[in-house]
Amino acid sequence: MSRAETAEASAGDGAAGGRAAAARAPGPLWTLGLLRNELTTTLRRWRTIALLGVLAAVPVLIGVAIRIETGDGSSAGGGGEGPAFIAQITNNGLFLVFTALAATLPFFLPMAVGVVAGDSVAGEANAGTLRYLLVAPAGRTRLLVTKYATTLAFCLVATLVVAASALIVGALLFPLGELTTISGTRISFGEGLGRALLIALAVAASLVGFAALGLFVSTLTNSGIAAMATTVGLLITVQILDQIPQLHAVQPYFFSHYWLSFADLMRDPVYWDDLVANLELQALYAAVFGTAAWARFTTKDITA
């Protein structure tokens, strides 16, 4: 074979390889399929179903307890104890939504998110499926973004499960109607439902930074259990530190510091300062730990 023929053959092989690589490159539909598969797999796991079941049970327990306590006509929370809005539940069952979210946000909701986020990458590595996911034309960045998007979707689903359960229980056990805001003004039941939805969205958004932290932890180990335990341990540690008065100077930088700011959505007019500060803090955590997770995952040896 002459040099010209050899060059032509090499060029032909290169073009064929380029076409094959282009054919293997994932398109938008492939990415959506990967995201749909991750969502389906996550939500169908028995562990996830159990977590959602526990979250749905919290409003039931609160509602039944208050119903039993107020069976003689007394008002709940008369001593000023318990989560925000609890004293209003007997007057309007919609307040059970706000109370349930206030009760689950400090621990139950983030714990569930920590389990899902911590297991997202480490669980695949431990099961030996991570390398096979990357053999497919996914790419590490695309796969990591998909894992994070799945965790964020779980944040929303978990929050809505709590809100929906509380709304159903509140409607069954207590009267519904106009609401009295924290500011003392009256709003219609329809506007109250709208604010309940906004509060649920605000609670879900409050978990964005913690989800990124859990994802980063998940890239540091090949043990799903270790990643989940570490993430939940960090949650408990930060919650404790946020209650120590001597640390007031650094507490505004803790991811959980503004979590209960959603109560400001029940003021008239709404106080936006803490709500905006919470969203900015969550975005900062998502950017910092999302970048750290990407830097770690793109250099991680998955063959070990």
Q: How far apart are CA 296 and CA 298, in angstroms?
A: 6
Q: Which of 56-60, 90-94, 130-134, 170-174 has the lowest mean pLDDT?
A: 130-134
pLDDT at 30 (0 to 100) = 56
Averaged pLDDT score across all residues of the chain: 84
| Cα dihedral 230, 233, 234, 238 in deg (nearest 10) | 180
pLDDT confidence tier of residue 26, bands split at 50, 70 and 90 = low
Residue 111, amino acid? M
Mean pLDDT throughout 154-175? 95
3-state class (DSSP) for residue 85: coil
pLDDT at 201 (0 to 100) = 96
pLDDT at 141 (0 to 100) = 85
* CA neighbor of 62 nearest in space, from 207, 173, 159, 202: 173
pLDDT at 170 (0 to 100) = 93
Output 202 or 136, whichever has higher pLDDT: 202
Q: Is residue 156 predicted with pLDDT exceeding 80?
A: yes
Consecutive H or E run containing 55: helix 46-69
| Cα dihedral 239, 64, 75, 266 in deg (nearest 10) | 50
Output 138 or 120, whichever has higher pLDDT: 120
3-state class (DSSP) for residue 105: coil
User: Residues 177, 88: contact at Cβ < 8 Å?
Assistant: no
Mean pLDDT throughout 237-261? 93
Domain ranges of the chain: 28-298
pLDDT at 27 (0 to 100) = 59
**Residue 260 CB-half CA count within 13 A:** 13
Q: What percentage of the chain reaches a pLDDT higher than 70?
A: 81
Q: Is residue 7 predicted with pLDDT exceeding 60?
A: no
Q: How far apart are CA 168 and CA 85, in angstroms?
A: 17
pLDDT at 304 (0 to 100) = 52
Cis ω for the linkage preceding 175 (within 30 of 0): no
Compute CA distances 45 → 42, 165, 207, whole Å. 6, 20, 21
- Token pair 């259990």 is found at 225
- pLDDT tens sequence across 27-74: 565 567 778 888 888 899 999 999 999 999 999 999 999 988 876 555
- pLDDT tens sequence across 263-303: 999 888 889 999 999 999 999 999 999 999 999 988 876 65
User: Residues 95, 83: contact at Cβ < 8 Å?
Assistant: no
